Structure 1
Amino acid sequence: MMLFKIFRKELSRKKVSMIVIFIFIMLSSLLISSGSRMVLELNNALDALFRAAKVPHFVQMHSGYLDHQKLKDWSDENQIIDEMQIVEMISIDGSSLFLSENKESEENSIMDISFVKQNKSFDFLLDKENRIIQLPKGEIGIPIYYAQQKNIQFGDFIKVGTGDKEQEFRVTEIIRDAQMNPAIVHSKRFLLNDRDFETMRTLFPETEYLIEFRLTDEDNLERFTNDYLSQGMPQKGPTVDHRLFKVLNGLSDGIVAMIINLLSLLLILIAVLCLRFTVITAIEEDYREIAVMKALGMPQRKIKQIYLFKYMAVGGAATISGYLISLSTNRFLMANSMDYLGKAASGVLSVVIPLMAVSSIFLFLISSVILILRRFKTISAIQAFQAEEKMERSWKIKTWTLKNSGAMNINLFMGIRDVFVRFKNYGLLTLIYFIASFITILPVNFLSTISSTGFISYMGIGRSDIRIDLHQTENIKERFKYMIDFLKQDSEIDLVSPLITSQFSMIKENGESEHLTIETGDFTLFPLDYIEGREPQNNREIALSYLNSQDLNKAMGDILILEVEGKKQEMVVCGVYQDITNGGHTAKASIPYNRDKVLWYTLSLDMKPGISIEEKVGEYAKLFTPARVTDLDTYISQTLGNMISKVRKITIITILIGLTIVTLITSLFLRMMICRDKDRIAIMRSLGFSLRHLHLQYLSTTLLLLLMGIIGGTIFTNTAGQAFISVLVSFIGVAHIQLIINPLYSSFLLPVLLTWAVAFTTVLSITGIKDYTIAAAVAE
């Protein structure tokens, strides 16, 4: 009861400091609870989706003739195969698909569009309740990607084809496709009734296949992959596996969850720093009370308990509040994930893990307070009575005196001088401004980076004005040759680079072969940014993607052996680049392509100055149907649009948090410093300093500290922050990311917002100095 009375008295006496600490602990608990629950629910949702869909362990995409019986016989003989199925997909050019209300076609879409029927054994397409969809005739299920992009609702109609080939379907399902859900996967499947599928096949005869396998044991995946690729099975297309499906499905939400958890850790650091300052200030203010209690024989342990109880009560209430609020904010953070993946049943862990996370914050805070309270050991009753004299003597530091101020305004000079004279006190505020700057600047720079066309270099693609992709189709070689000849004769084109991606066999040291996806052509025309080395310049050099170099354990100068045109050829690794396409496993070489295993063809081109890229994209899209023609802005927005949208939301939240931090901390800090400075303020007012003069002194002090924090935060963002982002995206093939800084936001708008918040808070927080006069000091 006594502790409760003391706590209530302290709370009423130090309302501002307690409220600020409460808010920071609550925010930290809120974020770490939300972040940990987000990771857990994301993993659970992925597992639930994959179970419901029965995702294949291995998928070979294939175009052209397919020997079904050969595949069946091979599968029946392979003991590690549990199930095999061949999924037929009707390929539709984007110009033949009309989704939007204004009846514009999808000819500028970068997606490969296919129509399928529901599978019989596994790889099911699901509805929004993760149930297997069965459609009646005349209805269609559309991918959630298009439902969101085009705002398509149930009951809307979409049109496929033109003229005699035109078909119309009513949208009755939004489908989840565990293989092709994410925007970063450039293939999308639309679901039809079996009879409608047969009708569409007669109208659009171009087909592709997914050769899918489920294994008896997932651990046999690598062995199975090597068996499949070495036995001459169909391979006209890329191969993917369930591990890649999981990474791509969880990519954007995983990055958001990691950013949230980082914010939580930074906020708890700020809360601990605030606690340290608050506890030390409280001890200094309560020296006389401490002296009385010690003089009366109260044990030091009891005195420490009084302070510890106060912060345990505040910390406990804050962590519980943060946890309870996180229960409602989680739906906001996971809204997009639940649309794409569904919501898994909540288990015990979804309650226990967040509770453990917030409990760890509480324990960390209390441990910090206990460490801070160790200074009670050095305080005796006599020293406590002498504390005020010691505090006053700290002002006698002789440095940068008034006579050295020159022409500078005396109040501005005294505010700046105070920073250096009492930097031990002000250093904490500078550190918190530094953290707040880091919190606001890093997400803005990351958003600028992934939104920029320069991010294309992390997708294994050279910078060019226009990109043309031609995947497997009839007479593909003739179409590709026609495109090259046409573009070379176009006088408005400045540069053309044809590239062909095909699969090669690589001979490992043990004599076994492993497939390697290699893009071939001239890579000096549109060069990439390389982590190490450079592009291949002759037919004996090869550049590897970062993940490939890690998996193959190959570095600059190492040798690998390829089968090129039926002969073994040694290739020297000349460079390592970053790539998030094809699962991050690609390579580039200036060698003849493998005619038997071509995956796709690509053309990169730059236009001459003054030529409209948008008009050229439209022109080539009509001329080169069914090739996919895009400019780089469209390519990035359609591929990374979902991730960019999520990072933009988190960026707005972090800016608001940063502004909240500087506002609350400035208010807390100034109130405490002014309380300490009340005698000094009274003396200065008696010497003729007006309230406006004193306001300028404190304002110049806080703005100088903020400037130091912003400069430090910016430098730290561009070094350690850049390294953190690199770690964040390294698992998808990006080993080192160069943040692209938007000067308008990072160097102007954010500093202006922070400066305005600090200045406004400073003015409000120092209004109480009008009460500090000599008369008031004497009366006290």
Structure 2
Amino acid sequence: MAAIWLLCRSRLKNSKTQNLFVSLLILLSTLLVATAAIVMANTGRSFTDMHDKTHGSHQLLLLEKGLHDPQFVHQWWEAQQGVETSRLLRFRALSGITYNGHDAPNLYLYMMNTPEPPLLVDTLVFAQGVQSDAPERGTVWIPTSMANSYGISVGDKISFHTGSGQLQQRVSAVVIDVPFGAPFTNTARIWMNSDDYRDSMTPLPGTDSSMIGLRFDDYSSQAGYWDRFARELGGPFLETKMEFEAISSFYLIINQIIGFIMIVLGLVMMLIALITIGFTLSDAILAHYRTIGVIKSLGLTARGTVLAYVCQYGLLACLGILPGLALSILLSKAILNLSVSSLKTKNEELAVHGIGTAMLVGLFVFVLVVLFAAWQAGRTRSIQPAQAIRYGMSETESRRAAALNEAAASRLEFGRLPVFAVIGLRNLIKNRKVSALMLALTMAASSVLVLGYVLLNSIIHIQQTTAKWGYDSANVAAIVVNKTTFSRSDFERALSADPRIKNASWQGNRTAVVSPEPSGRGKAAGRQPLSLYLSVLDGSYEQMGFGTLSGRNPRQNNEIALGVNVAKTLDKEPGDFVDIYIEGKKQSLLITGVYQSIANASYSARVTIEAARAASPSFNDMDVSLINVKDIEAAEAVASGLDAAFKGSASVVTQKTLLDSVFKEAADILVYPISLLGALFVLVAFIIIYSSCRINMRRESKTYGIYKSIGMTSTRIRMSVALGITALALLGSMLGILVGVYALPLLLENVLAGYGIVELPVILHWAGIPAFASIPVAAAFAGSWASSKAIRTTSPRILTAE
């Protein structure tokens, strides 16, 4: 055992740089995989913990349209066993705030009349400020999502747009309000003092709306409650109902994306690390072939020789894994703080779960490295002392190497190539395994960078693909905030009088109900009734830029288009019929198309206003006007003019403003982990190429000495080797572009399918993609150039002697 430990110490001492790089590579692999494991373990956990802590609602009922008696609805649910019901919350809807002299128009507010405690359901957790039963006069509580998006803190003053003027209030607390606290949301509940609400909100035109939160002891049983409620109500519930899936989806989607990318790329990096360990171990065996032969001739067993290498790489694995695990906890905490910042309080650290999972990842990496080292070191069992001492390798391998070099030179006709090209190609051909590793590494690094660039670019420029995300492509949107003061006729006159406007349509929404039945293909869908968001359009879906995955949007009163998750749940496709309850009346509609939408996770449908009026002839509840302009440059001016003319009753903004306010935060959250992944892969590429080239330089020192002795300069030799590796890296980056643009987005679609996106809308900016893909190429050149520094400082005589 002493001999084995002596050999292990000798190899650790004599190859410090190589061992350092192997440990660093294991560290980075562990860091990435363990961080991914922790992020995935916390995906949903932080939300679930906070949802349980606050007695969060599973469903939220918004009674704004006057279709049901709020008191009756509240009393019925309050009387049910197995259901916790919030107080009947009164509110008024406003749009837009002014903060620090800047307007935030795309912000829709529920100004809440804060009830007496306790809230029972959706209890508020104070993230900033002093906890109290209700806001003091002149102050409000705002949700963390709004505070984070606009940088608002306790003590700041906000002006709320009331139509007739401005209501200025001071922020006394920032609260975690689970139903309205998800990242990149444009709705918020503002909790007001009851006296302020009476003095400032009640005098406004219109009447109070109501909100009720429902929390089920067993959420899976909610369908039975709704069946009984529909019978008591005399028909389906027709007001807005927020489902648990819609409440939770935006809390989870970012971590799902980040965790998925990190898991896939972490496994790729681990594979690269194992290949690198195999290469360095193979090189070490070849470099010490004679030494191994001598040691075996002195009596060391084959098992002892293998154990020496296993001991060496086991120690290197420990040196890499332990700091990798420690760093993964810090890194995962930083990522989670970004992605679930709206669930974090100022005085409490975010609870990070999954440390045990990370430890198992570390153990798995250690076992994998040790087993792989034992497998590779098993080659030493076949070393024959006599052949090792004579040839420095087995006799068979000596003959094969000579034959391969001669055949390669013959096929490539080196005599016809420039000298610098011959040196670069010869370096790649003689080290085929290393070359293959470099190719795979630069391909992986390029694909990571390209995927990150494509994903962020697609989110930043989402305006170009709004139809594929389920939104309209209209240039301007006018959202009616106060229906009692808004005059549709005046608004339409203003539209018709403006020569800059091309066309306009009105859009409304309803909650519709579908009772799943066996489809025409004989498959039975789910048994529970499906509540979905129903979009109603008075106009042409095509003109307003709504897209579909298959088929087309509805045009007639007997047609409907389904969200992809609705179609999947019902097992329907274009050409089938679906029975749907609109305004409480059953209609059988022809499915003309299927579309995807991230809003409402594709649990939605589209019909024309004629279809809604077939159920209710007086239907005219349209609260959004979609407007197209003749010249896109005039969109901002049109929106500003209409917003000023109808201020207080409607909020008019451009489509770009709407999208930026929602998706900019998503891009900001994603940019840091994706940048880190790209940087790690580029660093690994540099490390491996540097280490591999150093090994090759040492192995070929005599050859380079001969080159220098016949007149070649050190710079020319180094440049020849570097250009050969750079050309190989360029090929890898080209393959990486294909993987990053086409393969990885397909894998990401598997994660997004549950959120209503089955075909990821990507924007390919071909000017930027090659630029990001070339970063690993630059790292490859830098690594190969830096590793060949020894050629410049060593004399030809010493190189040849070595």
Q: Compute the TM-score of the two structures, normalised by the length of structure 2.
A: 0.88
Larger mean Cα displacement after TM superposition, 640-649 or 208-217: 208-217
Q: Structure 2: which amino acid aligns with 1:188?
A: A
Corresponding residue number in structure 1 for 2:136: 136
Corresponding residue number in structure 1 for 2:706: 683
Q: CA–CA distance in 1 between the matches of 2:303 and 2:338?
A: 52
Deviation at 1:765, TM superposition (A): 0.9
Residue ranges of structure 2 left out of the alignment (5+ in a row): 519-526
Deviation at 1:724, TM superposition (A): 1.8
Query: Does 2:111 correspond to 1:114?
Result: yes
Question: What are the residue-to-residue correspondences of 1:84-95 with 2, within 5 Å?
Answer: 84-94=86-96
Paired residue secondary structure (2:56): coil
Q: CA–CA distance in 2 between the matches of 1:414 and 1:492?
A: 67
Corresponding residue number in structure 2 for 1:145: 145
Change (3 A) 1:331 1:402: closer
Deviation at 1:305, TM superposition (A): 0.6
Q: CA–CA distance in 1 between the matches of 2:38 and 2:112?
A: 36
Q: CA–CA distance in 2 between the matches of 1:214 and 1:492?
A: 49
Question: What are the residue-to-residue correspondences of 1:181-260 with 2, within 5 Å?
Answer: 181-204=181-204, 206=206, 207-228=208-229, 231-232=233-234, 235=237, 237-260=239-262
Change (3 A) 1:337 1:520: closer
Larger mean Cα displacement after TM superposition, 443-452 or 231-240: 231-240
Query: Does 2:272 correspond to 1:270?
Result: yes
Change (3 A) 1:599 1:427: farther
Deviation at 1:67, TM superposition (A): 1.9
Query: Does 2:687 correspond to 1:664?
Result: yes
Query: Does 2:769 correspond to 1:765?
Result: no
Query: Does 2:546 correspond to 1:517?
Result: no
Q: Structure 1: which amino acid aligns with 2:578?
A: L
Q: Structure 2: which amino acid aligns with 1:518?
A: L
Q: CA–CA distance in 2 between the matches of 1:38 and 1:598?
A: 47
Q: CA–CA distance in 2 between the matches of 1:337 and 1:274?
A: 34
Q: CA–CA distance in 2 between the matches of 1:60 and 1:565?
A: 16
Corresponding residue number in structure 2 for 1:294: 296
Q: Compute the TM-score of the two structures, normalised by the length of structure 1.
A: 0.90
Query: Does 2:170 correspond to 1:154?
Result: no
Q: CA–CA distance in 2 between the matches of 1:114 and 1:313?
A: 62
- CA displacement, residues 469-499 of structure 1 (integer Å, 9 cap, x when unaligned): 33673377xx445534532442101232333
Corresponding residue number in structure 1 for 2:501: 493
Deviation at 1:715, TM superposition (A): 0.6
Corresponding residue number in structure 2 for 1:618: 640
Q: CA–CA distance in 1 between the matches of 2:584 and 2:149?
A: 46
**Contact (CA 8 Å) 1:62, 1:235: kept in 2 or not?**
no
Q: CA–CA distance in 1 between the matches of 2:581 and 2:144?
A: 42
Q: CA–CA distance in 2 between the matches of 1:512 and 1:753?
A: 53
Larger mean Cα displacement after TM superposition, 47-56 or 323-332: 323-332
Deviation at 1:280, TM superposition (A): 0.9
Quote the sequence identity (%): 18
Paired residue secondary structure (1:759): helix
Paired residue secondary structure (1:213): strand
Deviation at 1:84, TM superposition (A): 5.0
Change (3 A) 1:244 1:288: same
Change (3 A) 1:508 1:656: closer
Deviation at 1:281, TM superposition (A): 0.8
**Contact (CA 8 Å) 2:733, 2:773: kept in 1 or not?**
yes
Instruction: Decide which of 279, 282, 286 is 1:280's aligned counterpart.
Output: 282
Corresponding residue number in structure 2 for 1:462: 472
Change (3 A) 1:339 1:3: same
**Contact (CA 8 Å) 2:205, 2:485: kept in 1 or not?**
no
**Contact (CA 8 Å) 2:536, 2:612: kept in 1 or not?**
no
Q: CA–CA distance in 2 between the matches of 1:254 and 1:20?
A: 32
Corresponding residue number in structure 1 for 2:573: 555
Instruction: Decide which of 434, 442, 448 is 1:439's aligned counterpart.
Output: 448
* Alignment: residue pair count: 771
Q: CA–CA distance in 2 between the matches of 1:348 and 1:185?
A: 24
Larger mean Cα displacement after TM superposition, 423-432 or 216-225: 216-225
Corresponding residue number in structure 1 for 2:373: 369
Deviation at 1:778, TM superposition (A): 6.0
Change (3 A) 1:600 1:122: farther
**Contact (CA 8 Å) 1:62, 1:234: kept in 2 or not?**
no
Change (3 A) 1:762 1:680: same
Change (3 A) 1:360 1:132: farther
Change (3 A) 1:602 1:72: closer
Change (3 A) 1:616 1:4: farther
Deviation at 1:79, TM superposition (A): 4.2
Larger mean Cα displacement after TM superposition, 272-281 or 135-144: 135-144
Corresponding residue number in structure 1 for 2:728: 705
Instruction: Decide which of 330, 335, 338 is 1:336's aligned counterpart.
Output: 338
Deviation at 1:184, TM superposition (A): 4.1
Residue ranges of structure 1 left out of the alignment (5+ in a row): none
Change (3 A) 1:700 1:164: closer
Q: Structure 2: which amino acid aligns with 1:224?
A: Y
Paired residue secondary structure (2:473): coil
Q: Structure 1: which amino acid aligns with 2:212?
A: I
Instruction: Decide which of 561, 572, 580 is 2:598's aligned counterpart.
Output: 580
Paired residue secondary structure (1:354): helix
Deviation at 1:547, TM superposition (A): 1.4
Paired residue secondary structure (1:551): helix
**Contact (CA 8 Å) 1:561, 1:569: kept in 2 or not?**
yes
Larger mean Cα displacement after TM superposition, 710-719 or 737-746: 737-746
Corresponding residue number in structure 1 for 2:457: 448
Question: What are the residue-to-residue correspondences of 1:532-571 with 2, within 5 Å?
Answer: 532-563=550-581, 569-571=587-589
Paired residue secondary structure (1:203): coil
Deviation at 1:764, TM superposition (A): 1.6
Corresponding residue number in structure 1 for 2:38: 37
Larger mean Cα displacement after TM superposition, 219-228 or 704-713: 219-228
Deviation at 1:156, TM superposition (A): 1.9
Paired residue secondary structure (2:303): helix
Instruction: Decide which of 435, 447, 465 is 1:426's aligned counterpart.
Output: 435
**Contact (CA 8 Å) 1:527, 1:535: kept in 2 or not?**
no
Larger mean Cα displacement after TM superposition, 125-134 or 637-646: 125-134
Deviation at 1:162, TM superposition (A): 7.0
Change (3 A) 1:463 1:162: closer
Paired residue secondary structure (1:111): strand
Q: CA–CA distance in 2 between the matches of 1:613 and 1:631?
A: 6
Corresponding residue number in structure 2 for 1:530: 548
Change (3 A) 1:571 1:526: same
Deviation at 1:430, TM superposition (A): 0.7
- CA displacement, residues 325-368 of structure 1 (integer Å, 9 cap, x when unaligned): 23433442232356411278888964322211222222222222
Corresponding residue number in structure 1 for 2:652: 629
**Contact (CA 8 Å) 2:84, 2:214: kept in 1 or not?**
yes
Query: Does 2:514 correspond to 1:506?
Result: yes
Q: Structure 1: which amino acid aligns with 2:573?
A: A
Paired residue secondary structure (2:92): strand
Q: Structure 2: which amino acid aligns with 1:28?
A: S
**Contact (CA 8 Å) 2:184, 2:666: kept in 1 or not?**
no
Q: Structure 2: which amino acid aligns with 1:637?
A: D
Corresponding residue number in structure 1 for 2:524: none
Query: Does 2:123 correspond to 1:124?
Result: yes
Paired residue secondary structure (2:560): strand
Q: Structure 1: which amino acid aligns with 2:664?
A: G
**Contact (CA 8 Å) 1:544, 1:577: kept in 2 or not?**
yes
Paired residue secondary structure (2:87): strand
- CA displacement, residues 148-200 of structure 1 (integer Å, 9 cap, x when unaligned): 23322222222345798654332221111100112444320111223222223
Q: CA–CA distance in 1 between the matches of 2:612 and 2:446?
A: 52
Corresponding residue number in structure 1 for 2:83: 81
Larger mean Cα displacement after TM superposition, 199-208 or 431-440: 199-208
Change (3 A) 1:345 1:165: closer
Corresponding residue number in structure 2 for 1:261: 263
